[in-house]
Amino acid sequence: MAVSAAALVLGLAISITYSKTLTGSEKNLIEFLDEKPENGPRVREDVSWPGFPYLKQVSAVSVDGNGNLHVFHRGDRVWDAHTFDRTYRLKDTEQGPIPNDTVLVIDTSNGKILYSWGANKFYMPHGLTVDHFGNTWVTDVGLHQSKTEERVGCGVVFNDPIISFTLHNSMSVSSAELTAILVVLQHILVSSYRHFCVYTDSMSALESLHSLTERGHPTVMEILLLLRKLERKDFDIIFSWVPGHVGILGNERADNAARSMTDHMQRPVYGMVVPHSLTLVPEHDAVCVADRENGRVLCYATGMDGSEPGTPLASIENQGLGRVFAIDARGKQLFLVNGPDLWQNSQSVSSDHGLVLDIESGLPMTLWGPDKGFRLPHDLAVSPDGKYVYVSEIDLSAPKRVYKFNIRN
């Protein structure tokens, strides 16, 4: 997940009608997996790769233009049920940022750490992408949760004027974010328009809307009830996450992107729930997003080929993909890792393995993973030369925190 892609994330929240919904094979994905297929590239673990077992949660991996691997990890911090309090505030902010270097840059030929950085900067590392220019972009789930001087940003796009508001300072940031969503929905309810995008930089607010355990939170309840009401009245509402510190109101680029987006907004996608990963697919001038909680991948035109940016190209869904955590494209192949389905859908694939899907047909091509399976793979990165794929783990019982696989055609 890249901050550099913020404008793209915004652009995504547009939809006309999907030209294609790719439901994959007629066969259930589980049956497909039983056959351990390899109709696409062959993906094999490099067992000699060290795997950094001394790290704890590794949240992101990215490969730069020189083939070096950048790893973003959480030092000794672990994101678990105790990380955020009931009002979604990061607990223990007084312990300060993580003292360890949280970014490791690794020579992939031998697994040696070339250099590291990022000490005393981050609270809960999440995404990291190295762009074509060699810039590193990171997101920190904890940092935007911590109570700072920054204002809670939430914007709503009303076909052009952007309505904004700030909230009382004494509110906890996360409660404020939920309240912001509620206020926005109340505005929407009395509007004569029907299609809206709601942006928030609070991942936890979005997650709490989808979490069963948070339904007890009064604001979450109110939001869910209001959403149901809006749905009955034929409103289309998109929730879109924008990376922390790129408050849509405070960032001109995001602001402009949002404005230009409304120009060609027609019918929004029904809400993405936690867009968790995105990748460019240059072969199709497309950008694809892992709509994590909806267990699907949505692809849109980037507009680079002169077509309308944001035009939906395909939706890969209904495959029992579980929760799609990370995607990365290799030509027309989409590499994907998933997580267990929160709804305990037995028809969903377990997170033991990664998949390669054909972007054009949505069909699964290859099942891959370490012999003993993944535990909770969080991110993956295909090297720019297409020869390797790296996967990061956030499960502390995983034998490796970073896996390396060789890819052969």
Give the footprint of ligand NAG on this chain (CB under 6 A).
55-56, 75-76, 100
Question: Closer CB to ligand NAG, residue 75 or residue 310?
Answer: 75
Question: Closer CB to ligand NAG, residue 74 or residue 195?
Answer: 74
We find the least distance from the C-beta atom of residue 363 to ligand NAG, in angstroms, to be: 40
Q: How far is CA 197 from the centre of its chain?
A: 17
Nearest-angstrom CA–CA distance, 341 and 29: 14
We find the least distance from the C-beta atom of residue 62 to ligand NAG, in angstroms, to be: 19
We find the least distance from the C-beta atom of residue 344 to ligand NAG, in angstroms, to be: 32
Residue 264 assigned to a binding site: no
C-beta separation of 3 from 138 below 8 A:
yes
C-beta separation of 231 from 224 below 8 A:
no
Residue 126 assigned to a binding site: yes
Q: Which residue is nearest to ligand NAG (CB)?
A: 100
The DSSP secondary-structure symbol of 49 reads S
Question: Closer CB to ligand NAG, residue 55 or residue 173?
Answer: 55
Question: Closer CB to ligand NAG, residue 69 or residue 281?
Answer: 69
Residue 74 assigned to a binding site: yes
We find the least distance from the C-beta atom of residue 76 to ligand NAG, in angstroms, to be: 5
**Which residue, 166, 247, 232, 237, is CA-closest to 202?**
247
Question: Closer CB to ligand NAG, residue 138 or residue 321?
Answer: 138
Region of 296 please: left (phi>0), alpha (psi -120 to 50) or beta: beta
**Which residue, 73, 60, 80, 68, is CA-closest to 119?**
73
Nearest-angstrom CA–CA distance, 266 and 261: 10
We find the least distance from the C-beta atom of residue 337 to ligand NAG, in angstroms, to be: 22
The DSSP secondary-structure symbol of 283 reads G
The pairing of beta strand 388-393 with beta strand 377-382: antiparallel
Summarize the annotated binding site for Ca(2+) as residue ranges.
61, 128, 379
Summarize the annotated binding site as residue ranges.
61, 74, 126, 128, 276, 292, 378-379
Summarize the annotated binding site for Zn(2+) as residue ranges.
126, 276, 378
Summarize the annotated binding site for a protein as residue ranges.
74, 292
